[in-house]
Amino acid sequence: MVGSGIAGLCAALDAAPRARVALLTKGSLDDGCSRWAQGGIAAALGDDDSSEQHYQDTVAAGRGLCHPEAVRVLVEEGPARIRQLVDWGVGFDTQDGRLLLAREAAHSRARVVHARGDGTGLEVETALIARLRKTDVTVVEHAHVDRLLVDAMGRCAGVDWWDVARGVEHRFTAPAVLLATGGAARLWPNSTNPASATGDGVALAFAVGAEVAGMEFVQFHPTALAVEGAPRFLISEAMRGEGAVVVNASGRRFLFDADSRGELAGRDVVSRAIWDELRDSGSSQVYLDCSRVDSVSTRFPAIHRMCAEHGIDIARELVPIAPAAHYVIGGVRSDLCGATSVAGLYACGEVASSGVHGANRLASNSLLESLVFGHRAAVSALHDTAEAPRTTVAEPVLDVAAGTDDADAWQRMSAALWEGAGIVRSASGLQQALDVCREAAVAGAATRSGRRLEAAATTASLVCEAALRREETRGCHIRSDHPRSSDEWHGDLVMHSHRGAQLDHHI
């Protein structure tokens, strides 16, 4: 198991009773995006809701590219996975013994379970880590996986990992490897993601011949805190679900110019509308007015605290906001069982491209995807472990000095991504960004200490290349030089290290 966000933790807990499991993670156990999730987890649990309704909302958000069978699995198995979390000790917010359900943008029902108000990820990670500690799963923190091993039959057979503290390379062999390494949105300079989200998993899998899909679809969250010197802290979508409104410097609710749903329109629509407003006004922020949200400081305590630290009282004052890179929809292509195109290699969570999000992810569906497909991937991987010898051995293979990555190359790549592969793209900008990312990959490959840069730059190059190829605007992929969707592009753009990029029309 590689990664200790919600996907890796759930898969490890599911597999632990039936196999020897090692869980490697490059930082501390809670360093992924999961710990930061605010809004919650979507599932059709309300009396007025149904999995069919959740299906319809998800598919509508996905702009024609969701895989119907994957979405069915997501929405139908979601409620059982939420119940499993409750059994595992996750304390969701309740009222009179019933789970509280919030409404978020582009959901037609209130269906988002949450915990600690806006601290869902923290509660889930805390409960799952506590449970993991009681199992005999071998946990290795600060273990940076930098290569997947493939045997003579082309089957994934383990990983090489770098002991960050001691500067030593190790090897684990295993009959199945499950990648749960999260996303890549931290590659952009304005990002809601923590430092761990640099797209390692996509590069690792791509290097051993796994198919990668949907990399052009990067979701920019419309409402990240935009205060000079402050991190791009997320201001949850749930705020808008509960009445917060977006206004420009003149106090006008301009989102209605773009969509009659205003603040409750899909993420792609709201981000684009804010981007256009910023461009037209020359301003670097618009504002969120939270004064209509009931008990805002207790319902959203983390957001209230973070804004207060930067001198903003969200109950009374406007919160400056701007879009920031948030979620990479594309990833390692995986089937309904989490299997990738490389035998013995599974992927789940944000690193995977399972087909549930299409061209635009519905809010709060990603934690759900991690739960549902993490469980499925663990069950499938257990078949591999049953068939192969149960040996998980660790052996040091290489002892090299730790080095530092090239900070300038990271910075150039990051800036190029924001400029060329940001919210609104064009062929020339994408080509420039692609050139910079490819240069960074070459620079990274030249040294042992540059491997992290090489992995990040490989993933970033795949984003640029896919975005360059898809000559249309669809969901969160917006091309100023191809402003409309085209039937010609109805399908997944699948990339492979030897076969190149191909459009798969099977949806």
Within 327-346, the residues that bind ligand FAD by CB under 6 A are: 327
Q: How far apart are the first and last CA of the chain?
A: 30
Q: Which stretch binds ligand FAD (CB under 6 A): 29-37, 396-404, 408-416, 479-487?
A: 29-37
Residue 196 is classified by DSSP as T
Residue among 125 and 472 whose Cβ is closer to ligand FAD: 125
Least Cβ distance, residue 370 to ligand FAD (angstroms): 5
Three-state DSSP at 358 gives: coil
Q: How far apart are CA 347 and CA 172, in angstroms?
A: 18
Residue 24 sits in the site that holds ligand FAD (CB under 6 A) = yes
Binding mask 195-214 for ligand FAD (x = CB under 6 A): -xx--xx-------------
What is the separation of C-alpha 17 from the centre of its chain, rounded to a whole number of angstroms?
Answer: 28
Least Cβ distance, residue 385 to ligand FAD (angstroms): 20
Residue 306 sits in the site that holds ligand FAD (CB under 6 A) = no
Residue 39 sits in the site that holds ligand FAD (CB under 6 A) = yes
| Closest residue to ligand FAD in the complex (CB) | 5
Q: Is 311 left (phi over 0), alpha (psi -120 to 50) or beta?
A: left
Q: Which stretch binds ligand FAD (CB under 6 A): 33-41, 75-83, 256-264, 380-388?
A: 33-41
Residue 182 sits in the site that holds ligand FAD (CB under 6 A) = yes
Least Cβ distance, residue 156 to ligand FAD (angstroms): 15
Residue 459 sits in the site that holds ligand FAD (CB under 6 A) = no
Least Cβ distance, residue 121 to ligand FAD (angstroms): 6
Q: How far apart are CA 497 and CA 15, in angstroms?
A: 31
Q: Pairing mode, if any, of strands 143-150 and 212-213? A: unpaired
Told to judge if 267 belongs to the known catalytic residues of this protein, a careful annotator would answer yes
Least Cβ distance, residue 486 to ligand FAD (angstroms): 29
Within 130-149, the residues that bind ligand FAD by CB under 6 A are: 143-145
Residue 74 class from Cβ within 10 Å (0-12 exposed, 13-18 middle, 19+ buried)?
buried
Residue 458 sits in the site that holds ligand FAD (CB under 6 A) = no
Using alpha carbons only, give the angle 149, 28, 128 rounded to the nearest 5 degrees.
Answer: 95
Catalytic residue, from 267, 361, 425, 470: name it.
Answer: 267
Residue 40 sits in the site that holds ligand FAD (CB under 6 A) = yes
Residue 323 sits in the site that holds ligand FAD (CB under 6 A) = no
Which two tokens mark 349?
């969570």
Q: Pairing mode, if any, of strands 156-163 and 143-150? A: antiparallel
Of the residues 181, 334, 380, 458, which one makes contact with ligand FAD according to CB under 6 A: 181
Residue 37 sits in the site that holds ligand FAD (CB under 6 A) = yes
Rounded alpha-carbon distances, angstroms, from residue 309 to 71, 106, 231, 233, 306: 40, 31, 11, 12, 5
Q: Which stretch binds ligand FAD (CB under 6 A): 20-28, 205-213, 376-384, 475-483?
A: 20-28
Least Cβ distance, residue 252 to ligand FAD (angstroms): 28
388-394, Cβ contacts within 8 angstroms, sequence gap of 24 or more: 388/175, 388/176, 389/175, 390/19, 390/20, 390/175, 391/173, 392/20, 392/22, 392/138, 392/172, 392/173, 392/174, 393/171, 393/172, 393/173, 394/170, 394/171, 394/172
Which two tokens mark 143?
């273990």
Residue 99 sits in the site that holds ligand FAD (CB under 6 A) = no
Give the number of residues in contact with ligand FAD, rule: CB under 6 A: 46
Residue among 127 and 145 whose Cβ is closer to ligand FAD: 145
Q: What is the signed CA dihedral for 122, 124, 129, 132, rounded to 10 degrees?
A: 180
SS3 of 210-240: the string is CCEECCCCEEEEEEEECCCCCCCCECCHHHH
In 405-502, alpha helices (H): 407-420, 427-445, 451-469
Least Cβ distance, residue 367 to ligand FAD (angstroms): 3
Residue among 126 and 365 whose Cβ is closer to ligand FAD: 365
Binding mask 227-246 for ligand FAD (x = CB under 6 A): -------x------------
Residue-by-residue DSSP string for 339-350:
B-SSTTEEE-GG
Residue among 41 and 137 whose Cβ is closer to ligand FAD: 41
Of the residues 13, 16, 23, 31, which one makes contact with ligand FAD according to CB under 6 A: 31
Residue 57 sits in the site that holds ligand FAD (CB under 6 A) = no
Residue 36 sits in the site that holds ligand FAD (CB under 6 A) = yes
Of the residues 366, 380, 385, 461, which one makes contact with ligand FAD according to CB under 6 A: 366
For helices 365-387 and 6-15, what crossing angle results, to 10°? 40
Residue 430 sits in the site that holds ligand FAD (CB under 6 A) = no
Residue 32 sits in the site that holds ligand FAD (CB under 6 A) = yes
Q: Are 183 and 194 in contact (CB under 8 A)?
A: no
CB count in 10 Å sphere of residue 153: 8
Q: How far apart are CA 372 and CA 76, in angstroms?
A: 10
Which residues are known catalytic residues?
267
Binding-site ranges for ligand FAD (CB under 6 A): 2-8, 24-27, 31-34, 36-41, 120-121, 143-145, 180-183, 192-193, 196-197, 200-201, 234, 327, 349-351, 364-367, 370
